[in-house]
Amino acid sequence: MTRHVQFRLVDAFADGVFRGNPAGVVLDADGLSDEQMQAIAGEVHASETAFIEGGNDLHRPLHLRWFTPTVEVGFCGHATLAAAHAWSEIAGLRSILARSDAALTFETAAGLLTLRPEPLPKPAEVPLWWLDMPDPQLKRDNTNPIKLRELLGLAGDDLEPAAPIMRTRDDDLIVLIRSWRTLMELRPDLRELARLSERFRIRGVCVATLDTLNDFTNVASRFFAPACGVDEDPVTGSIHGPLAVMLVVTELIPLASGSAALHCVQGIPGGRTGMVRALVKQTPQGYRVSIAGCCHTTIRGEIRVPQHDG
């Protein structure tokens, strides 16, 4: 018998439909093989598709996995927000928001991830979803910086001297540069960047700048992950926790009473753009960070499950 699974396409970190970063969400992925999930993600062809399992088990958290069109990844921020938004729709969004302790928890490869909806003033139709991020585990990167700059199309004096190139727990690199115009004009050599990424186990490269167009925005960025089948991602939630912490650690963003709130913009020049809110708190155990954004469902329906070759 042919099986179909419930599906949503959700724009995450978006202030309206057809903005931000679209993510696929499969709401009843129980029993799907890895190969079937990968095939569905390839058919959806969003930068990531989230698969929710365990919806009928009331005794443990929902299980969540993420796939790009070509590989499974260990963490994805925008697809996690999209999954929470889509699940809350079928569970009854109003009833969830009515509880003071409203939260959704997913069991994932990145650990337990908790999301909390913050109702926004009317006429907003959707809440702001806050995600408690995993420990960013930042460290200096040893990849050849001259070759990396060459492939990104950057000169040595384009880099921000106060911030070294950093690697995150997801094996993303963060490169901070001086100029917004330089950021917008980047045209990386994506083929060679993919080869470099495969060689040095780099998932993606975030290029960011504090040189923004208004006082409301703290940082602007672009994100390239050609080795994962995503030449450029419109909005990458997973990078903004580490990015925010890096800016605080380097004192480029100051703390006030032990915390810092950031408004971060990411987008593709001439294409989609989204807003990520980040909140960094200094604790005795180190820095903790949460990110937030709004989500909008654009497609509801079913996807036919491909036949399992095994």
pLDDT tens digit sequence for 24-68: 999 999 999 999 999 999 999 999 999 999 988 878 899 999 999
> Three-state SS for 3?
coil
Residue 215 burial (10 A CB sphere; 0-12, 13-18, 19+): exposed
Q: Which architecture characterizes domain 139-293 according to CATH?
A: Roll (3.10)
Closest CA to 79 of 208, 228, 207: 228
Going by pLDDT thresholds of 50, 70 and 90, the confidence category of residue 95 is low
pLDDT digits (tens, 9 = 90+) for 291-304: 999 999 999 999 99
β-strand pairing of 104-108 with 72-73: unpaired
**pLDDT > 70: what percent of the chain?**
96
3-state helix, strand, coil in the chain (%, to 5): 25, 35, 40
* CA-CA-CA-CA dihedral for 276, 225, 6, 113, to nearest 10: -50
* pLDDT above 60 (res 97): no
* CA-CA-CA-CA dihedral for 82, 83, 89, 92, to nearest 10: -130
* pLDDT above 60 (res 310): no
Q: Which fold has domain 4-122+295-304?
A: Diaminopimelate Epimerase; Chain A, domain 1 (3.10.310)
Question: What pLDDT was estimated at residue 174?
Answer: 98
> Which candidate in 35, 43, 48, 160 is catalytic?
48
Residue 154 to residues 176, 179, 214, 227, 284, Cα–Cα distance (Å): 11, 11, 24, 20, 38
Distance separating alpha carbons of residues 176 and 160, to the nearest angstrom: 6
- The answer to whether the CB of 184 falls within 8 A of the CB of 143 is no
Q: What's the chain's average pLDDT?
A: 93
* CA 75 to centroid of chain Cα atoms: 8
pTM over 0.85: yes
Question: What pLDDT was estimated at residue 120?
Answer: 87
* DSSP structure class, residue 156: G
Question: What pLDDT was estimated at residue 141?
Answer: 95
Residue 251 annotated among the catalytic residues of the structure: no
Here the tokens at position 64 are 């969540």
Q: Is the link from the previous residue into 22 a cis peptide, with omega within 30 of 0?
A: no
Residue 20 to residues 83, 181, 195, 200, 295, Cα–Cα distance (Å): 15, 21, 28, 29, 8
The residue type at 125: E
Distance separating alpha carbons of residues 42 and 258, to the nearest angstrom: 43
Ranges in the chain annotated CATH 3.10.310.10? 4-122+295-304, 139-293
The residue type at 208: A
3-state secondary structure 66-102: EECCCCEECCCHHHHHHHHHHHHHHHCHHHHHCCCCC
Going by pLDDT thresholds of 50, 70 and 90, the confidence category of residue 260 is very high
